[in-house]
């Protein structure tokens, strides 16, 4: 029964994505304001003006398990950020805690430079694998955050409680910190450590807020529709249980 429900949900998501994607080509959707993402968009421009770096940490997600979703969301944001800040005197630095993710980070950043028409400015050492375990990765990322003239640390991906160490370094260097994790411990740590926290699925909204492309907006609208469907199903199920149908 469960695989059938899962398959049905999958097809529903695909169907909704296609319908919404075709529909929003005609209309520009309006999204609610997320303060952390407004701050992120502003810090992209400020970093270019200040001549300081952005540090994008993509966490230690493995691409072979369910944590890969947050890694892909981080890569999507990285692609936009690298395109928008590639002309800065101090190019952005990206760090990853998984080797395969590190390779994709290099490819994504290079693509961002390519899209901005400055591929020759891309330096492959700006995309780094700083460690292969959560702590070694975090320590390597702390090293970047403290020593490389970073004005904004952007943490998008899978982080556990060790995110606190990186957040602490950002605080001590008076750098802005914007963070989102798919892990509950990481989220609570980032909630306590950042000015404006990103909670839950807001991690996956980053692309849509930084880039106005139809596909990003469609993804976000589909997430909202599915969330409402789940809410209605949960409430309906509870009501049916209450009145004794189940």
Partner 1 sequence: MRILTAVIAIAVGSMVLLGYFSTSFINIQTLLLNWAIILAGVAALAGVFNLITVHGNKVRQAEKNSIYSAVLVISLIATFILGIILRPQHAVMQVILNGIILPVESTLMGLLTITLLYAGIRLLRRRVDVMSIFFIISAVIIFLGSATLPSGDIPLIGTLVRPWLSQIWAMGGARGILIGVALGTLVTGLRVLFGVERPYGGK
Site for partner 1 in 143-162 (CB under 8 A): 143, 147, 161-162
Question: Which span (36-44, 46-54, 163-171, 236-244) binds partner 1, by CB under 8 A?
Answer: 163-171
Q: Which two tokens stand for residue 31?
A: 């999204």
Is 230 one of the binding residues for partner 1 (CB under 8 A)?
yes
Is 72 one of the binding residues for partner 1 (CB under 8 A)?
yes
Site for partner 1 (CB under 8 A): how many residues? 75
DSSP state of 98: S
Nearer to partner 1, 75 or 175 (CB): 75
Least distance (Å) between residue 161 CB and partner 1: 6
Least distance (Å) between residue 231 CB and partner 1: 9
Which of 159, 193, 210, 217: binder of partner 1 (CB under 8 A)?
193
Is 199 one of the binding residues for partner 1 (CB under 8 A)?
yes
State how far the Cα of 213 lies from the Cα of 150, in Å rounded to an integer. Answer: 28
State how far the Cα of 22 lies from the Cα of 215, in Å rounded to an integer. Answer: 9
Which of 47, 88, 151, 187: binder of partner 1 (CB under 8 A)?
187
Least distance (Å) between residue 48 CB and partner 1: 23
Half-sphere exposure of 92 (CA within 13 A, CB side): 34
Least distance (Å) between residue 243 CB and partner 1: 22
Least distance (Å) between residue 226 CB and partner 1: 5
Secondary structure E strands in the chain: 53-59, 93-96, 127-129, 150-158, 176-181
Is 34 one of the binding residues for partner 1 (CB under 8 A)?
no
Contact 164, 189 (CB under 8 A): yes
Q: Which two tokens stand for residue 6?
A: 């899962």
Which of 37, 75, 150, 170: binder of partner 1 (CB under 8 A)?
75
Question: Which span (38-46, 80-88, 122-130, 235-243) binds partner 1, by CB under 8 A?
Answer: 122-130
Is 54 one of the binding residues for partner 1 (CB under 8 A)?
no
Contact 176, 155 (CB under 8 A): no
State how far the Cα of 240 lies from the Cα of 103, in Å rounded to an integer. Answer: 50
Is 19 one of the binding residues for partner 1 (CB under 8 A)?
no
Is 211 one of the binding residues for partner 1 (CB under 8 A)?
no
CA distances to 107, 110, 154 from 124, rounded to whole Å, are: 9, 8, 19
Which of 31, 42, 66, 235: binder of partner 1 (CB under 8 A)?
66
**∠ Cα 179 181 184 (to 5°):** 125
Which of 19, 100, 116, 118: binder of partner 1 (CB under 8 A)?
100
Non-local (6+) Cβ contacts of 111 within 8 A are: 79, 82
């Amino acid at each position: 029964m469960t695989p059938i429900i899962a398959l049905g949900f999958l097809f529903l998501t695909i169907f909704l994505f296609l319908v919404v994607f075709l529909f929003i080509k005609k209309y520009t959707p309006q999204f609610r304001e997320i303060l952390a993402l407004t701050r992120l968009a502003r810090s992209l421009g400020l970093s270019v003006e200040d001549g300081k770096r952005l540090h994008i940490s993509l966490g230690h997600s493995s691409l072979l398990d369910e944590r890969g979703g947050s890694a892909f969301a981080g890569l999507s944001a990285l692609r936009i950020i690298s395109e928008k800040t590639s002309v800065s005197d101090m190019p952005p630095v990206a760090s990853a805690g998984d080797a395969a993710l590190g390779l994709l980070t290099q490819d994504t950043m290079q693509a961002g430079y390519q899209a901005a028409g400055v591929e020759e400015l891309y330096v492959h050492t700006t995309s780094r694998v700083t460690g292969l375990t959560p702590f070694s990765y975090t320590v390597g990322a702390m090293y970047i955050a403290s020593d490389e003239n970073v004005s904004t640390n952007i943490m998008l991906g899978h982080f556990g409680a060790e995110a606190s160490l990186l957040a602490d370094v950002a605080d001590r260097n008076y750098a802005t910190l914007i963070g989102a994790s798919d892990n509950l411990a990481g989220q609570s740590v980032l909630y306590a450590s950042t000015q404006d926290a990103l909670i839950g699925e807001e991690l996956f909204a980053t692309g849509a807020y930084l880039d106005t492309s139809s596909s990003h907006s469609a993804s976000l609208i589909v997430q909202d529709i599915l969330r409402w469907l789940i809410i209605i199903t949960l409430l309906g199920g509870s009501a049916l249980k209450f009145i004794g149908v189940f």
